[in-house]
Amino acid sequence: MAPDNGTQHDRMSAKNTAPGKRREGVGLVLFGAVLATLILIATAAAGDNGASSTNPTVIVSNYQVTPAVLLPGDKGMITLTIMNTAQSASIKENTGSVTGGTFEKTRSTDINVFVENVHLEGNGILILTKDFDRIGEIGPGQSVPVTFVIQAPEESGIYFPEAWIDVKDGRSTRYPFTVNVNTDLSTLKKPSLSVIQDLPERVAPGESCTARVTIRNTGLTRASDISVTVNSSTTSLVLTTPGRSWREQLNPGEVMNLTLGFATDKNTPIGIDPVTLAISYRNPDGNSEKQTETLGIPVKGRAALSVKSLSTDPVRPAPGNPFMLVVRVENTGTDQATSVKASLDSPFSGTKTAFIGSVDKNSDAPAVFYLQATKDGTVPVNLTLSYLDDFGAHEITEQAEVATAPGQGLLPAAVILIVLGIVGAAYWYLRIRPGKSHAGE
């Protein structure tokens, strides 16, 4: 019997389509596996509130023991500076959409750290302060100080207490440090800058001066980034040289020399005018140090005497007659003149020394001489002024003239004529007139 063509065709079709159906089944299985994996990843991310990040921690950025060296049995303080090391943290979040084969994006946000407990383990040092519990959150880059009261043991030595800091989620920090109890051992060698001043002995208002400063490193280590700023406390004392100086470093024993110029005016106050030196530098550990030095510029006044006027009483004395010479002495300087004395060098006779005493600045005083005129005409005289001020003893000499009455040379001739007249009249009366009487008889 011949085979049925229709039945044979159906068998051939079923044989040809079976492999295709198997390939489709395998593809569906692979797709389901990938989809399940992605769902598990998304579920895990959602279980972590849709974000992941690195938790910050804390460190002890600095500590200070006060006093630096304790005596046995003394009490002191330890101050710890606790700082959050994180500035910010990266967080991955689920966006809910697929971009580039991932469900996540990244953004930065600040994360605080929660300090639960701070404990100080003495290791030989008696801790008088209890633990600090639940200090609270510290923001990224921020710090908080914590101070403990301690008591030194009876034995001298170097002790090493420890700070134990516990933060949330069970993380902790251990930080040992040193406490010096009555020992000569230095825990940290530092530079030390000393300032040597070479100042002018005195400066008068209106004058200029120079001050020299030597900065020496008398410490045990190098100082770096040394900066000096000069500031005057009064506007009438002006700095004429640069006001800022810088040096990269000063090794132990090295010096930094500064030459400072100042100018004053007439209104500069008398006394010590302070000039401030602000000095900053860095230790080998990078910490910045600052110190302030003061230069006392001694401003002292200088007197300046001169002859203001000269007069006589009477105005034109006659030779042989007494007269009074009045010299007015003025002080145009910036301070008082003391022990003022005037001396006269002239052909006149009389008192030639006058004591004035003191003459204030912007003032004058008289020097009075009582003299006898011995010469006529214009007579030159020399006046010497001696005085004291803050700068020492001074002496100046000025020339002047005194006018006396002219024409005094006719007086002797008139006297002679008068005498001759009297003699003639007497001769006529005694000799000639009696003769006339005898002739009449």
Q: What is 193-299's CATH number, 2.60.40.10, 3.20.20.370, 2.40.50.100, 3.30.505.10?
A: 2.60.40.10
Q: Are 140 and 126 in contact (CB under 8 A)?
A: no
Q: What one-letter code names the amino acid at 347?
A: P
pLDDT band at 27 (very low <50, low <70, confident <90, very high): low
Q: Where in the chain are the domains?
A: 58-181, 193-299, 305-408
Of 16-25, 61-70, 242-251, the range with the highest mean pLDDT is 242-251
Res 255: pLDDT: 94
Does residue 221 register a pLDDT over 60? yes
Q: What one-letter code names the amino acid at 37?
A: T
How are beta strands 223-232 and 172-176 bridged, if at all? Answer: unpaired
Considering the segment(s) 305-408 as one domain, its CATH architecture is Sandwich (2.60)
**226 closest CA partner among 191, 253, 261, 197:** 191
Higher pLDDT, 389 or 8: 389
Topology adopted by domain 58-181: Immunoglobulin-like (2.60.40)
pLDDT digit string (tens) for 32-76? Answer: 554 555 544 444 444 444 444 455 678 888 888 988 889 999 999
Buried (b) or exposed (e) across 175-185, using 16+ Cβ within 10 A?
A: bebebbbeeee
State the pTM of this model: 0.44
Element counts in the chain: helices (H) and strands (E): 3, 30
Does residue 372 register a pLDDT over 80? yes
Q: Let me know if 404 is exposed, middle or buried by CB neighbors in 10 A (0-12, 13-18, 19+).
A: buried
What does each C-alpha distance from 194 to 111, 211, 222, 231, 256 come to in angstroms?
A: 46, 16, 14, 19, 10
Q: How far apart are CA 195 and CA 176, in angstroms?
A: 37
pLDDT digit string (tens) for 135-190? Answer: 788 877 788 899 999 999 999 989 999 999 988 875 678 888 889 998 876 545 78
pLDDT band at 229 (very low <50, low <70, confident <90, very high): very high
Angle at alpha carbon of residue 422, lines to 416 and 426, rounded to 5°: 145
Handedness of CA 299, 301, 302, 304 (dihedral sign): positive
Res 155: pLDDT: 92
Answer yes or no: same fold for 193-299 and 305-408: yes
